[in-house]
Amino acid sequence: MSLPRFYPWQEELAATWLGPEQRQRFAHAWLIHGLAGIGKVEFARAAAASLLCEAPEGAMACGRCPACTWYASGNHPDFRRVRPEAVALAEGEAEAGDMEEESAAADEKKAGKRAPSREIRIEQIRAIETWANTGTHRGGLRVVVLYPAESLNTISANGLLKILEEPPPQTVFLLVSDAPDRLLPTLVSRCRRLPLPTPAAGQALQWLGEQGVEPAADWLAAAGGAPLAAQRLAARGDTPCPAWLGQLVQPLAAGKAPDVGTLTESLEKVAAAEWIDALQRLFTDLTLAAHGAASRYYPSLAEPVRQAAARARPAQLAETARWLSRQRGLATHPLNAKLFVHAALQRVVLSCQ
């Protein structure tokens, strides 16, 4: 394993934020926020490496000292990551640095006892409290990277708030969030905010090109300008504009009914977050088209989107967009997958007729 590095679009901010002068009076809790898919967790992990490094070179960890060696192997005793079990599992059990508690949860999961939690649980916060109130191993800082902060439930958010109200010495909390407005306001008020930039298109396209993502511009558009999200979409092997979106929009453009049954069959196996994201992006494009503006996410569908938008009533487009946004916010979906997909597609079709 190697040390996490800042992405090119983060280097300037990191250099200022972690510069020698700033470090003298570094806040004990930060809320790192910004668009999803721009590399916020990677930024926080690179920052943690830099804060723990015993011979930092400006904002960067040196990569050679004992602290860097431990960090790179996932064994730094003064570093903790706090994330929901489901996130830990998705990131790979093989990755070092997991807390024992998380491994135990993974074992339980493998034994089929329960689904992995999508929330940061109070037990995880209590473990951090105990750890933060023992001496640091290396005499330097202790760093906690917690993400996504919106997965704190009410109890764990209050537990964390209690810790931040009487901050343990020499401890830095880096909270990462796509949606700071969904956090407990009192918790946010205990943190300094650090908004991370979305890279300029040129920089994002250059980076995507270096990662071998093609066609970079279409993937970047489909991901709303977020390069890591674009890379993840591309890795799934579909096209920048999923084929099913075309099958949905083409008939609507011609004033015909799409084949909802067939579309449902192809979507019921896709993760809800994924197809809801795509529908939300489609609705942004439809809304833009209804106002005579160019497509933001799916330029290849611009013409059918324009025609479909011309048939739709703006109020209904807005209503369905709000409905999709509510569905996206739900961690779990009460209906079975097929019924849910079917209901969503019917709403979309109705709002475009």
Residue whose CB is less far from Zn ion, 53 or 194: 53
Using the minimum distance from each CB to Zn ion, give the nearer residue, 63 or 116.
63
- Eight-class DSSP state of 341: H
Count the Cβ atoms, other than its own, within 10 Å of residue 101.
14
Tell which one of 13, 62, 99, 260 touches Zn ion (CB under 5 A): 62
Tokens linked to 79 = 């570093």
Q: Does 89 bind Zn ion (CB under 5 A)?
A: no
Rounded to whole angstroms, the Cα distance separating 267 from 314 reads 26
At residue 32, φ and ψ (nearest 5 deg) are -95, 115
* Shortest CB 58 distance to Zn ion, Å: 12
CA-to-CA separations, 326 to 105, 141, 178, in angstroms, rounded: 30, 40, 16
CB of 21 to Zn ion, least distance (A): 19
Member of 14, 53, 141, 324 binding Zn ion (CB under 5 A)? 53
Toward Zn ion, which CB reaches closer, 69 or 189?
69
Least distance from C-beta 91 to Zn ion, angstroms? Answer: 24
Q: What is the C-alpha to C-alpha distance for residues 313 and 290, in angstroms, rounded to an integer?
A: 9
Q: Is 68 in the site for Zn ion (CB under 5 A)?
A: yes
Choose which of 13, 15, 35, 65 interacts with Zn ion (CB under 5 A).
Answer: 65
In degrees and rounded to multiples of 5, residue 134 shows phi and psi of -105, 165
* Of residues 53 and 82, the one with the C-beta less far from Zn ion: 53
Q: Which is nearer to Zn ion, 1 or 243 (CB)?
A: 1
Of the listed pieces 48-56, 242-250, 252-260, 262-270, which binds Zn ion according to CB under 5 A? 48-56
Which region, judged by CB under 5 A, interacts with Zn ion, from 9-17, 32-40, 56-64, 171-179?
56-64
DSSP string, 91-125: H-TTSS---HHHHHHHHHHHTTSSPPPSSB-HHHH
What is the C-alpha separation between 242 and 81, in angstroms, rounded? 34
Residue number with CB closer to Zn ion (62 or 318): 62
Q: Which positions touch Zn ion (CB under 5 A)?
A: 53, 61-62, 65, 68
